[in-house]
Amino acid sequence: MNKIITIMMLFISVSTFSQATALKKVGKTVENTLKVAWRNSDKTKKLVKKIDIPDDLVKWGNKSKLNLKINKNSIDILDDSGKKLGKIIKKGNKKIVNSYSIIGERTVNPLLNKLPLPNTIYKINNIIFRVDDIFKTDGMGRVVYAKQSSFTKNTKKNIDRNKLKGSYKGYEIEFFGGKKGVHERSHIIALSLGGNSGNINIVPQLERINKGVYKRNEKFMKDNWKYIKNYEVKISYKGSEKVPKSFIQKFELRGRDALDKLKEHKAKNPEIKFRKYTDSNGQSYYKCITYHDNLG
């Protein structure tokens, strides 16, 4: 009797051990299956994220009559023929548009004539001058900041804007929100300095500014292009108006005779202010600033 009981207990123990082992294997299989499922789920989520074009971009593309195509890390911007005009990269809440000023034979990139995306940074390569410009827009798509960090010897080139196809010349001042007889179409960054000839670079500006110290500052920079760095233009607006309230031009001048050049320039343009600074290499340079009131 005792032997039977002992054998039964041994059988139950082995059975229990086998069941436990089996259950353990089943549990491990289930665990691995779940891990694979979650991994695939994450991949699916990432894939969905990549192929999903945000509604605001879809609306902008439709309104601008541009086609948007998803890539692995960006969104291509195409015209009706499928020609690539630029691409959109999203970094967090920021949008960056990489583009170039001209396509084909001296044709202004159509993308630069479209209504700019709101709260976006445009990085535009000028293939003629071999420089890069940056434009930033606000929530209404108005350009509030533009910058060109450096200049090249190609700045000496004289570009006939009238020979550029698709330039701003085909748009009246009213298109930009200005008033005929009051405002002029003005380049934020002059074409002669490396600015593009698209509408993104055009704003309504009073004649006394466009043909005054603003233009003379541009000529000064062109004449001294070797020593100019970090040319910036900050633009402010009143409320929701399209016409800028003011402009602030800033640039840095370097070189041994920088001070003499600035004194001579300021003598003809008293609005200009400048201050001396020293960089990390111990080299002196001057920051120049000019404020322009565009309200009349």
pLDDT per position as a tens digit, 222-254: 999 999 999 999 999 999 999 999 999 999 999
**What percentage of residues in the chain have a pLDDT greater than 70?**
79
Q: Does the predicted TM-score (pTM) go above 0.85?
A: no
Residue 93 has pLDDT above 50, yes or no: yes
234 with 168: CB under 8 angstroms? no
Does 34 score more than 80 pLDDT?
A: no
- Mean pLDDT value across residues 268-293: 96
Strand, helix or coil at 182? coil
- One-character DSSP codes across 243-270: SEEEEEEEEEE-STTHHHHHHHHHHH-T
- Per-residue pLDDT band at 23 (split at 50, 70, 90): very low
To the nearest whole number, what is the mean pLDDT of the chain? Answer: 84
At the topology level, CATH places domain 54-293 in: Extracellular Endonuclease; Chain A (3.40.570)
Given pLDDT bands bounded at 50, 70 and 90, which one contains residue 28? low
Q: Are 208 and 238 in contact (CB under 8 A)?
A: no
CB 184 within 8 A of CB 205: yes
Rg (CA), the chain: 31
Domain map (residue ranges) of the chain:
1-52, 54-293
Kind plus residue range of the DSSP H or E element containing 69:
strand 67-70
Question: HSE-up of 65 (CA within 13 Å, CB side)?
Answer: 5
pLDDT at 144 over 70: yes
Report the C-alpha gap between 247 and 214 in whole angstroms.
Answer: 9
Can you give the pLDDT at residue 4? 44
Query: Is pLDDT of 266 > 70?
Result: yes
What is the pLDDT at residue 47?
41
Question: What is the reported pLDDT for 39?
Answer: 56
In angstroms, the CA 269 to CA 249 distance is 13
The predicted model gives 145-150 an average pLDDT of 96
pLDDT at 287: 98
| pLDDT confidence tier of residue 90, bands split at 50, 70 and 90 | confident
Give, in order, the Cα–Cα distances in Å from 223 to each of 157, 204, 253, 261: 12, 26, 12, 11
Q: How confident is the model at residue 130 (pLDDT cuts 50, 70, 90)?
A: confident
